[in-house]
Structure 1
């Protein structure tokens, strides 16, 4: 099964993903880590662009083909990236669970963004202004919505694990 955690930076995706991966013993694909590896390798001229997502799609596909559960941690901001994840699952004959992680408490969301420290060497975290400017299209398809202002990471992971059951 492919579980895609989506949402703006600072919404709590990575915290929830870490809880979830531990519960499910799943493969963990974090776009921030993939993109930073590409930047650090200095193999791309200019911006990373869609390269990080393309690497993640390939890794997800190969792990799903092995019958493993995959948790993808990414902003997943656009209909094209959301459809690409669905196509990855379909190509591996796997189910997909799309989860949008939100933080409805604006002050808390801002606090998280402003106080967090990078946990990936070389990774520059977005500031609050860039989070507000982020190109994040509203969802038009079904997904599980988890509000991290209302539930703990542990409770969120449990809700997702329950929804992921066949």
Structure 2
């Protein structure tokens, strides 16, 4: 199974992804980690495109090997979401799309402005960058989890319940 998480920075998707990967003993593929590794090697040109391309390839390998994969990225556009679904289809596994949102703007802003980078060298986006980011409505999401009212453990339980269906 490929579990595709997406949402704006600071919405809580990585917190949920880590907890979910631990619970399921699944591979956690995080585009931010890949992009930061590319930056460290000096490969900054077209980093977002390269980061997603690498993440998709690694996810495909893991899925073909029989692993459950948690894909953790903003997924701001239909094209990125379509690409994840195509990976699942090619690997002949199910895909579950989960959008992570934080409906409380004050809480979302607090998270963005106070969180510390957990990837060495990673520069967190500012609140202005988050709210001005291009992010299209996610009409294909199987599940939307609002972290303003749902803790990570409850989010994991909700995803696992849907995953098991």
With the shorter chain as reference, the TM-score category is over 0.9
1:43, distance to aligned residue in structure 2 (A): 2.9
1:151, distance to aligned residue in structure 2 (A): 0.8
1:97 maps onto 2:105 in alignment:
no
Q: Pairwise mapping of residues 76-155 of structure 1 onto structure 2 (< 5 A)?
A: 76-155=75-154
Aligned mates of 2:46, 2:94 — CA distance in 1: 32
What secondary structure does 2:47 align onto? coil
The TM-score normalised by the length of structure 1 is 0.97
Question: Aligned Cα RMSD in Å?
Answer: 0.9
In the alignment, what sits opposite 2:51? 52
Aligned mates of 1:19, 1:97 — CA distance in 2: 16
Aligned mates of 2:101, 2:159 — CA distance in 1: 14
Aligned mates of 1:4, 1:141 — CA distance in 2: 11
1:18, distance to aligned residue in structure 2 (A): 1.1
Structure 2, unaligned runs of 5 or more: none
Structure 1, unaligned runs of 5 or more: none
Specify whether residues 142 and 119 from structure 1 end up closer, same or farther in structure 2 by C-alpha distance, changes over 3 A only: closer
Aligned mates of 1:5, 1:72 — CA distance in 2: 6
Aligned mates of 1:82, 1:21 — CA distance in 2: 20
1:51, distance to aligned residue in structure 2 (A): 0.4
- Give the number of aligned pairs: 165
In the alignment, what sits opposite 1:17? 17
The TM-score normalised by the length of structure 2 is 0.97
Q: Deviations over 1:37-78 (max 9, x none)?
A: 01111134x341310000000000000001110001100000
Q: Deviations over 1:96-143 (max 9, x none)?
A: 000000000110000000000011011000010000011100122242
